[in-house]
Chains A and B, each alone.
Chain A
Amino acid sequence: MIEVSLHKKLMSANGEMKLNTGFKLEKGEFVTLYGKSGAGKTSVLRMLAGLLLPDEGRIAMNGTLWLDTNNGINLPPQKRNIGFVFQDYALFPNMTVKENLLFALGKKDKSVVDELIELVELGNLENRKPQTLSGGQQQRVALARALVQRPQLLMLDEPLSALDTEMRISLQDYILRLHREYELTTILVSHDVSEILKMSDRMLILEEGNIVKDGKPDKILLSKDVSGKFQFSGEVIGIQKQDFIFIISILIGKDLVKVVADEDEVKKLQIGDKVLVASKAFNPIIRKLP
C-alpha cells in the first residue's frame, strides 16, 4: 500500500498554483490521473519518483518512508525502485534495445531481460538503436526497460498520447498484460476517456492541484445522466460494410460492442472517434451473472 500526501507551490501557465494532494493506493491497483494540462499530474508523478521535491509531504511505500519533509527524509530516485515511462520515451540513443534493458538491469540475473523482450515482442529488434524504431516500438522498449528492475510501482506519464489509435490500443493491451503479469501497482496519466475506461480500476481527477474526484471510472465518467436512459461512451475502432448496412465496432470500457448503422451515419464517423452509444426505446434485459 502507498500513502501519499504532497503539497507544493507550482508555477503553472495561469500563474501560481497550490498543489494539495493526498491519496492511498492499494497493491495491484491500476489508477489513472486525469485532468487538464497544467493541473499538476506530471508534478505528482515526478514527486513520487523523487525527481521533484515538494515543499511539504510524506510518501510511505508499504511502511517504508520514501519522503517525510518533517523529518528530513527524502530517498533519491535511485533508491525508490520505481518504473517510470516518460512521454518522450527517454531511451538512451547510444545503446541498442537490448543494451537499454541490460543497462537498467545492472548485475542481476539476465533472464528477466529476455522474458520482457518476449512479452513486448521485440525479439527481432533487440539489436537495433532506438532512433530506428517507430514510436510504438520505442514505447514498448521504454515499458520493458521500466520493468527490468521489477519495481512495485509503475508510473506512466501520458505514454500513448503521441501514438495513433491502432498503436494505442495495442499498447494498452501490452500495459495491461504487464500490469497483471508483474503484479504492479500502476499510475497512468491520461486524457483519453476510452483508455481510462478500458484500463483503470480507479481514477483521480485533478483540478488546479486538488483531487476533486476519486472513484471507479465508469461511475465518474458515465454518470452524466441518470434518467433511466441506456447510454455509454466509447471509441470507434472499426467500421465494416456488410451488404447494405455497416457494422461499427465500438470499444466501451473493456468490452467490444458491435452496432449496426446505415450509410449516412457512417459518413460522419471514422476510426478513433469518441461516440455515445444510447438507446431509449427498448428495455435492456438484466441477468445475474453466475
Chain B
Amino acid sequence: MDWGPIILTLKLALITTVLLFIVSIPLAYWLAYSKWRLKPVFETLVSMPLVLPPTVLGFYLLVAFSPSNDFGRWLNEWFGLQMVFSFEGLVLASMIYSLPFMVHPIQSGLANLSPNLREASYVLGKSRITTLFKVLLPNIRPSLLTGIVLAFAHTIGEFGVVLMIGGNIPGETKVASIAIYDEVEALNYGAANSYSMILFALTFTILLVVYLVNGGYLKRFWK
C-alpha cells in the first residue's frame, strides 16, 4: 500500500490546523465581544462552510484562483503562488472549509466566561493582550482543544473541496479521501478498505482523546 496519501493528509491537516488556530483566536475574540451592527453578517460568513456543499466552495475558489483570472494571475506574478492544483491552494481551501469548526468553540468559550474576569483584569491595570493570553485563553482550554481537534479531524475528512481545487496529483494534492475514491473507481476494494480503516481509526482516536480530556477522565493520571 502507498502511504503517500495518508502522510499528505496528515501534513495538510497539521498545517491547516496551526494556521487556522492563529487566525481564529483574533477572529473568535472579535466575534465574541464586538457590538458592531454588521457582526451577524460576518458570523454568517464564518458559518457558511457548515451548510454549503464543499463543491460550491471548491468551485468558486477554483474560479477565483485560476491563472486565467486577474486575481489568480496577480497572486502568481507577485507571490509566485499557484493556488490551483497545488498544496498551498489546498491549505487555503481547507482553512476556509474548517473555519467554523475552529472559530465556534473558541468564540463560545470566550462568550461563556464571566465578563467580570475580563473587567477585573482591566481594573488591575492589565492590557487587552495580557488579559487575553494570561486570563481568557487559559480559562477556555477545553474549548481550545475542541477547536483544534475538530478542525484537524474535519480537514482529514474533506473530499469535495480537494477534488475541485486540488485534483489528484500524487504527493501534491492526492490526499487519503481522494485515494479511496480512486481505488474504488479502479475496483481495488482491498486498497480502498485499507485507507478507509486507517482514516476511521485515526478520526475515532482523535475524537476519543477530546472526550477523555474534556471529560476529566485523564486528570487522575496527570496529577
Which chain A residues have a beta carbon within 8 Å of chain B's beta carbons? Answer: 49-51, 76-84, 86, 88, 90, 92-94, 103-104, 106, 145-146, 148-149
Please state if B139 and A92 are interface contacts (CB–CB under 8 Å): yes
User: Closest 8 A-B residue pairs measured CB to CB?
Assistant: A90-B116, A90-B120, A94-B138, A77-B122, A84-B123, A104-B124, A86-B116, A78-B125
Given known pairs A77-B119, A90-B114, A93-B139, the reply for A149 and B125 (CB within 8 Å) is yes
B124 to chain A: closest CB distance in Å? Answer: 4
Please indicate the chain B residues that have their CB under 8 angstroms from the CB of A83 in the complex. Answer: 123
Please state if A94 and B124 are interface contacts (CB–CB under 8 Å): no
Q: Does B117 contact A (CB under 8 A)?
A: yes
Q: Does B126 contact A (CB under 8 A)?
A: yes
B126 to chain A: closest CB distance in Å? Answer: 7
Dominant secondary structure of chain A at its interface with chain B: loop
- Cα distance, A103 to B139, chains bound together (Å): 15
Given known pairs A76-B122, A78-B122, the reply for A103 and B116 (CB within 8 Å) is no
Please indicate the chain A residues that have their CB under 8 angstroms from the CB of B134 in the complex. Answer: 103
Dominant secondary structure of chain B at its interface with chain A: helix
Instruction: Tell me the number of A-to-B contacts counted with CB atoms below 8 Å.
Output: 55
- Cα distance, A146 to B123, chains bound together (Å): 9
Given known pairs A88-B116, A90-B116, the reply for A82 and B139 (CB within 8 Å) is no
Please state if B123 and A49 are interface contacts (CB–CB under 8 Å): yes
A99 to chain B: closest CB distance in Å? Answer: 10
Please indicate the chain B residues that have their CB under 8 angstroms from the CB of A146 in the complex. Answer: 123
Q: What does the 1/0 interface line of B48-71 toward A look like (CB < 8 Å)?
A: 000000000000000000000000
A3 to chain B: closest CB distance in Å? Answer: 21
- Cα distance, A106 to B120, chains bound together (Å): 14
Please indicate the chain B residues that have their CB under 8 angstroms from the CB of A50 in the complex. Answer: 122-123
Nearest neighbor of A49 in chain B, beta-carbon distance: B123
Q: Does B205 contact A (CB under 8 A)?
A: no
Please indicate the chain B residues that have their CB under 8 angstroms from the CB of A94 in the complex. Answer: 135, 138-139
Please state if A103 and B124 are interface contacts (CB–CB under 8 Å): yes
Q: Does B44 contact A (CB under 8 A)?
A: no
